[in-house]
Structure 1
Amino acid sequence: MRRAHQISAALFEDECRNVQLTPAQFGVLTVLNAHPGLGQSSLARALGFDKVTVLRVLRGLQGRGLVARQAQGGRRSVAVSLTDAGTALLEQAQQPAEKAYRRLMAPLDREQQQQLIDLLQLLTGELEDDARAAFVPPAGND
């Protein structure tokens, strides 16, 4: 499974070289596009990242002008949104990301692709309690 992950990341990085995005950065941009203003902690949970990892990715994206972080409420909560540049880059990355996915799944026929997805969902669902970082999808469709 580790080798499959390495290959998946390499294919993504190869296809997305021109937009200069890693899989983690693409994931952050995708979640923020669907849930603008999401809190940093909720973003981390939506991606199954720990707080340190999401903060590192956000700092890189913020340095490139792709996301904006703003204090939220009186507590130490921070809301994150895409900038116009972030939205534009995400749109530009869609086609190469899809191409990477097609390359990854190409050795399998359609039935095998669905079987792989189903088995991975079963595996991750059954072992979620053992994960280092919780995966909690964001609530609502905002």
Structure 2
Amino acid sequence: MNAAAPPLETLAQLYARPGFLLRRAHQISAAVFEDACAPLGLTQAQYGAMTVLAAAPGLDQTRLARALAFDKVTALRVLRGLQARGLVERAPVPGNARQLAVQLTVAGHDTLAQAQQAAQAAYQRLLQPLAPPQQQQLVQLLAQLTDGLAHAARAPFVPLTGHPG
């Protein structure tokens, strides 16, 4: 006796899945951001790292990774790219030569200041298809989703507290 095969998922069902839509939204978000920051050559990850470092100069690489929900490899890749451009510098933490503290250079501070207006324009462009109440609702729903499923993440998110900014 042959068991009936389960019905195949339709394309409409696939394209309506939250995971598909979130991945597509991330692709669009990255493209919009990178377009806005093209003159500066910054990615979202680099901008995020620089923003955290401006708020917490001398942060060690592990805490930086957690503050952005990056795995250690991604954090290292981002930092190496920024360091190669002279935007950050890394130095051993006093008393712990195995741990590196990271801070923005003068060029890094200047680049971040230039990038902030472009990043804000990208954020506005990304949310432009939505009415202001929908924009707020989307951000609230995404925060609720990420908070509610944080235990399933591959990289921990540990927001910085006690830092200005």
What TM-score results when the alignment is normalised by the length of structure 1? 0.98
Deviation at 1:138, TM superposition (A): 1.8
Cα RMSD between the aligned structures? Answer: 0.8
Aligned to 2:163: 141
Q: Distance in 1 between matches of 2:96 and 2:126?
A: 45
Unaligned runs of 5+ in 1: none
Question: Is 1:97 aligned with 2:114?
Answer: no
* RCO comparison, higher one (Cα < 8 Å, 6+): 1
Aligned to 2:99: 77
* Greater fraction helix: 1
Tell me which amino acid in the other structure corresponds to 1:4. Answer: A
1:3-42 mapped onto 2 (5 Å cutoff): 3-42=24-63
What SS is found at the alignment partner of 1:61? helix
Q: Distance in 2 between matches of 1:9 and 1:127?
A: 22
What SS is found at the alignment partner of 1:101? helix
What SS is found at the alignment partner of 1:11? helix
Aligned to 2:71: 50
What TM-score results when the alignment is normalised by the length of structure 2? 0.84
Deviation at 1:74, TM superposition (A): 2.6
Worse-matched range after superposition: 72-81 or 84-93: 72-81
- Identify which of 145, 150, 155 aligns with 1:123: 145
Determine which structure has more spread, i.e. the larger CA radius of gyration. Answer: 2
- Identify which of 111, 115, 133 aligns with 1:111: 133
Aligned length in residues: 142
Structure 1 residue runs of 4 or more that deviate by more than 2 Å after TM superposition? none
Deviation at 1:139, TM superposition (A): 3.0
